[in-house]
Structure 1
Amino acid sequence: MDYLLSSIRPPSEPFNSPPLLHTLLNQPVKSLLRLLHYGFSLLRPKPEARLGIRLVCFSDTHTLTPSRVPEGDILIHAGDLTNSGTVSELQAQIDWLATLPHKHKIAIAGNHDTYLDPRSRTTLSAADQKPELDWKDIIYLQHSSTTVKLANNRSLEFYGAPQIPACGPASFAFQYSRGQDAWTDTVPISTDILITHPPPKYHLDLPVAMGCEHLLKETARVKPILHVFGHVHAGRSDAYGRITGGKQLVRWDPAEEVMARAMQRTDGLFSQVLSVGAWWDVVSVVCYDVKGLLWERVWGGKCPTTLMVNAALAYEDTSELRNAVQVVDL
């Protein structure tokens, strides 16, 4: 009986993944939609790797270092290098990143990187508010862009931003009130690779949706080739995250629009099962996904896509780096 109850109860910590049975009972139609939409995505063609470069992506190392970092051309750290956000912790992580052999290295901050936000920096000791960091060969992005030149006169534009919906004390960096729009028209439309600390809402997120809806709208507006993030560790390791390997190819088509609307519906077994609107979402997603499949497979059409990657290495709320480093070939 205790085991059954524990499999139904929501997690005590909102950033942990809930038991699968709890999700299925609380979000039966949403769970069905996720599986159907993902199944159709496997049938549709994937973008070809044409640039011949490999990106190595991770985040949420929290002062630790993974046992293995794959080789690649560009290294991305999507924030939460530290736990306490002191200069000494930050510099130690920077020094480690600088030892890695990747030609280009790009990093952003996360909410635990206290020193990097002037507002949260005031919560540190006086000694930790004055020193300067030596970023060495690492490009640090904070609401800013950088361009990496590739072979054959090609290049990629990266944009990095750390802000997150508020989830902790004043020592947490770059927080804004949940529901506040901190994203609209902030990302340059020319961005190829978007690096943020939080996930866009509903994508490699948790069922309770700890990501940001405004970030999702901004990503849909810009449609970068790749969007790398972390923050919600369990979005990488919950049932959906495990199925997809922490990667999700999002097609910006009508099916995605219906999914975004469907995920906003009220949770609850009876609220969903008895909702005509929820079941209409299922019919709509299947119809649009079939249409998209035929458009791409039969008529050779193209649909704009973004590969979303939850790069968190930390497993749930543990202090262990149990998730593998993500590798993306473009």
Structure 2
Amino acid sequence: MQHFLAPAITYDPPSLLYTLLTQPIKTLIRLLDLTFSTLRPKPKPNQPPIRIVCISDTHCLKAPNIPDGDLLIHAGDLANLGSAEEIQPQIDWLDSLPHRHKVVIAGNHDRMLDPRSRDTLPLKDRSVALKFNSGRRLNIYGAPQTPASKKDDHAFRYPQESDAWSETVPRDVDVLVTHTPPKHHLDLPIALGCEYLLKEVWDVQPTLHVFGHIHAGKSDFVGQLKGGQEVVRWDDGQRALERALARPDGLFRGIVDPRSWLDVARVTYYGITNVLWEQIWGGSSPASTRMVLASLMYCNSGELRNPPQVVGI
């Protein structure tokens, strides 16, 4: 649901008008980054490619058309209240799908799977190495924890200001699966993702990062243009972008602050030079991660209207 002014609840996508009024400079910067990213070469999958189908946030519902692939990933929130009666049918449904390999993590709604509820289930922070028919292998790591701004009764929560991620992800991971997104990536203009997870992803730089949680992350204006996926290139341009998005903004404060326009200049400079280097002069591209928001739930509609995301790596 789009709103003329502020979204009714935090997790709803704001209207473009509201975003422009509250974040004019950041909106410009996000559009500049999207434009330059589109012009840069996309990372090519290894050969033979592994086809990965990414879903999350099914909330007790079963999507009718899940594409086939080599690996199915569910990035959490199988349930609503998190009882065994809700989770078991979801597990049975996933088990019935034809994918040879399936990786599932819990989300903040999957209360029964939280170690505080079932301390006999070692479900947090696990790694698995999968071998595919092509002979290729992938190291996959999953973690369900999500930041909370206040105490609630959801599962796998940690205080928003605390670091729950540093030195937690193995450095040889190819595919990272988390329920929360990293900050500033497909997490709405107000950036509901975790800054400490972002720092950890900077250190690990996996080939693929799959997450969910923010249903509407691909429903705001820029999120719609990205279509639920983005390629994050780990270079100076990315650092400049994140510094700019972390700065306070506002209709007047952002426009009159010279630092805001310096951020615009930096993002533009790095964007142009990177496009010229890679597309004109044939220079090599930096390491990159494809980030995927896999939520099937459309905003808070109660309907699985978002399509599964399919990636080849």
The equivalent position to 1:304 in structure 2, one of 272, 287, 302, is 287
Aligned partner of 2:70 in structure 1 is 73
TM-superposed CA distance for 1:81, in Å, is: 0.3
1:208 shift after superposition: 1.1
Q: Deviations over 1:35-92 (max 9, x none)?
A: 1111011111111122421100010000001121001110000000000100111111
Match of 1:29 among 20, 25, 45: 25
Indicate the residue corresponding to 1:136 in structure 2: none
How far, CA to CA, are the matches of 2:191 and 2:154 in structure 1?
A: 20
Which amino acid counterpart does residue 57 of structure 1 have in structure 2?
Answer: C
Q: Which residue in the other structure is 1:250 paired with?
A: 232
Letter in 1 for 2:98: P
Query: In the alignment, is the contact (CA less than 8 A) between 2:113 and 2:123 conserved in 1?
Result: no
Give the Cα separation in 2 of the matches to 1:99 and 1:161. 24
CA contact 1:54–1:327 (8 Å) conserved in 2: yes
Q: Secondary structure at the match of 1:50?
A: coil
- Give the C-alpha shift of residue 142 in structure 1: 2.5
SS in 1 for 2:35: helix
For residues 99 and 149 of structure 2, the distance between their equivalents in structure 1, rounded to whole angstroms, comes to: 33
Q: CA deviation at 1:151?
A: 4.1
Whether the 8 Å CA contact 1:236–1:311 is kept in 2: the answer is no
What pairs up with 1:47-196 in 2 under 5 angstroms? 47-51=43-47, 52-119=49-116, 121=117, 142-166=124-148, 170-196=152-178
Aligned to 2:249: 267
1:167 and 1:55 mapped to 2: Cα distance? Answer: 33
Secondary structure at 1:195's aligned position in 2?
A: strand
Give the root-mean-square deviation of aligned CA atoms: 1.7
Q: Unaligned regions of 5+ residues in structure 2, if any? A: none
Q: CA deviation at 1:266?
A: 1.1
Query: What SS does the aligned partner of 1:263 have?
Result: helix
CA contact (8 A) 1:193 1:225 kept: yes
Contact conserved, 1:165 with 1:175, CA < 8 A, in 2?
yes
Task: Give the TM-score normalised by structure 1.
Answer: 0.90
CA distance in 2, matches of 1:198, 1:147: 22
What is the CA distance between 1:152 and its match in structure 2? Answer: 5.0
Please tell me whether the aligned partners of residues 254 and 288 of structure 1 are also in contact (alpha carbons under 8 angstroms): yes
Letter matched to residue 39 of structure 1: T
Give the whole-Å Cα distance in 2 for the aligned partners of 1:200 and 1:285.
Answer: 20
Aligned residues: 309
Displacement of 1:170:
3.8
Q: Is the 8 A contact 2:70 2:132 kept in 1?
A: no
**Contact between 1:107 and 1:141, CA under 8 Å: does it hold in 2?**
no
Are the aligned partners of 2:25 and 2:249 in contact in 1 as well (CA < 8 Å)?
Answer: no
Counterpart of 2:110, as a letter, is D
Query: One-letter code of the match for 1:241?
Result: G
What code does the residue aligned with 2:303 have? Answer: E
Cα distance, 1:154 vs. partner?
2.4
Which segments of 5 or more consecutive residues in structure 1 lack a partner in the other structure?
1-5, 122-128, 134-139
| Equivalent in the alignment of 1:280 | 262
CA shift in 2, pair 1:93/1:167, >3 Å: farther
Using structure 2 for the length normalisation, give the TM-score. Answer: 0.95
Deviating runs (4+, > 2 A) in structure 1?
150-154, 167-171
One-letter amino acid of the counterpart of residue 191, structure 2: A
Native 8 Å contact 1:236 1:312 kept in 2: no
Does 1:325 find its partner at 2:280?
Answer: no
SS in 2 for 1:188: coil
Establish whether residue 224 from structure 1 lines up as the match of residue 206 from structure 2: yes
1:44–1:293 Cα contact (<8 Å) kept: yes
Deviation string, structure 1 residues 188-216 (Cα, Å, up to 9, x no partner): 01000000001001100111111100011
Q: Is the 8 A contact 1:111 1:172 kept in 2?
A: yes
Structure 1 residue 280, shift from structure 2 partner = 0.4
Task: Give runs of aligned pairs for residues 32-47 of structure 1, distance below 5 A.
Answer: 32-47=28-43
Question: Deviation per CA, 1:123-159, whole angstroms, max 9, x where unpaired?
Answer: xxxxxx69x99xxxxxx96301001113454211000
CA distance in 2, matches of 1:177, 1:141: 20
- 8 Å contact kept, 1:143–1:162: yes
Question: CA separation in 2, counterparts of 1:71 and 1:57?
Answer: 11
Partners in 1 of 2:284 and 2:144 — Cα distance?
A: 35
